[in-house]
Amino acid sequence: MRKTYAYSHAPIAFDFEQTIERFFVEEIPLFKFADKGSNLILKIKKTDMSTFKLITVIAKATGLEQRDIGYAGLKDKNATTIQYISIPKNYERELIANLTTEKIEILEKRYSKFPIKIGQLKGNKFAIVLHDVSLEASEKIKQVAKKMQEEGIPNYYGYQRFGEDSKSFEQGRDIAHSGKKLKGAKEKLLVSAYQSYLYNNWLSSRIRISSTIVKNSVADGATFLDYPHELVDVLKAQKQFFKLFIGDDMKSYPYGKSYPVQDFEKSTREFLDKKASPTGLLCGSKAKRALSDAKHLEEEFDDTELYSLKGDRRYAWIWPEDLAFSYDEKEKSFRIQFYLPKGSYATTFLEEIAKKSLKR
């Protein structure tokens, strides 16, 4: 997949590497935990360890089955991460006695009536150290990041989603088309990668359409896109970069109900006010499809043979928050902090600044 970037600035050079010393992420829970209940909630700091490995270690320490250990989201191995885990309260003693690895530190303990479930997450705070950043580049990064905080960014899936060779979606496509019931977490992950691949291609297409409309006159835009002049005129009048079409599935932001775009004025106003965002299709058996013109743009990236997963819709456009910067001119290192809603990738944010893939 060739990603289309939304912003028009020149590429900004920096060195990025995802390591435990340079990549930090902290989960922000969806709600506050109480101090009573039958579930122990652990705020855990871990290094050089994936979430799946963390679950395995906790299961071994407590004697629990992995399915009895709750978590909200997956965190990468090559990072220092803080996330929340739940276990039954009566296994606390075994955990404390047997959890000996230095890669895991328990920062806080809380209790809750309910275990943590996947998706019960508001978002993530990131802190990332970039190297080989000139003073001029540091100022450009600040300028672009502040604009992205105000105007938003495309919500692409990151390269991590597609495996080491970036081709896990091909296996997922073959599995999805086999008609067989999915076996285990690995097959589900591969089919999800195929869903994500289709979504990313749809989003790239929509960014390309929006960019064509923004950069050209109505007449030229209509020619390049082979659209009626009247449609391009309406689209160009929209103030936001990402152009909305009739039938786009809009959803209250950062969570809430969805509705189809029928009234451009209402939808674009809510979009500009960061109260709603368009969504893209994650195809599956029960996925909601777009309508009208938006459906036509979506159909190329739909797969009606993919029914082994339920499907969903994903925000196409998000807004980074809580930006902070620090620059060490002597070391030429630049630390950038920001918050993204759940399911969004820090590397996608950085790639929009760099204008290139950061996958090594």
Query: Which residues belong to the active site?
Result: 76
Any alpha helices (H) in the chain, and if so which ranges?
51-62, 92-98, 135-151, 168-178, 184-215, 218-225, 229-237, 264-272, 292-299, 346-354
Q: Which residues contact 297 (CB under 8 A, 6 or more apart)?
A: 202, 205, 206, 209, 245, 290
- The two three-digit tokens of residue 313, written as one number: 């819709």
Buried b (16+ CB within 10 A) or exposed e, 107-122: eeebbbeebbeeebbe
Distance (Å, rounded) from C-alpha 287 to C-alpha 36? 37
The single-letter DSSP state of residue 113 is: S
List beta partners, residue 327: 334
- As a whole number of angstroms, the distance between CA 206 and CA 48 comes to 37
Among 288, 314, 289, 284, smallest CA distance to 203 is for 314
Contact between residue 308 and residue 325 where contact means Cβ atoms under 8 Å apart? no
Cα separation, 127 vs 339, whole angstroms: 9
Q: What are phi and psi of 54, to 5 degrees?
A: -60, -45
67-255-206-233 Cα dihedral, nearest 10 degrees: 170
Q: What angle do CA 18, 164, 1 make, to 5 degrees?
A: 100
